[in-house]
Amino acid sequence: REALAVTAQLCGPELERYGRCVAASPGSWHRDCHQLSLSVTECASNHPLVRRFFFFCSDSFGAFERCLRERFFFFAECGPHVSQFLLCAQIFFFYVTQSATPSATPGDTPFF
């Protein structure tokens, strides 16, 4: 959720164009909107928090992507990979938000 919020804040126009494309192409969005998807990814990847997130969760994200490629027509089988990726995201953003709280002392080392 937090990664999407950061992405929406930084890349609103790109996300809006991508969303309109997906809505207009329900049967072929993965082909028709691919270039717009890349523009959202490129925009988001320029943010340090998003880059740290994908570095931290690269294993689970990679497994999820591989599953989608290998089981394109049976993507429901990728549920466990989605769960692992979402768990990683929750852990990452929990630690990020905890390290950014005012209760952190000046000598604390941030998690990331």
The per-residue pLDDT for range 67-82, each reduced to its tens digit, is 878 887 777 788 898 8
Instruction: Name the maximum alpha-carbon separation found in the chain.
Output: 53
Query: Which tokens go with 8?
Result: 């929406």
pTM score:
0.56
Which carries the bigger pLDDT value, residue 108 or residue 40?
Answer: 40
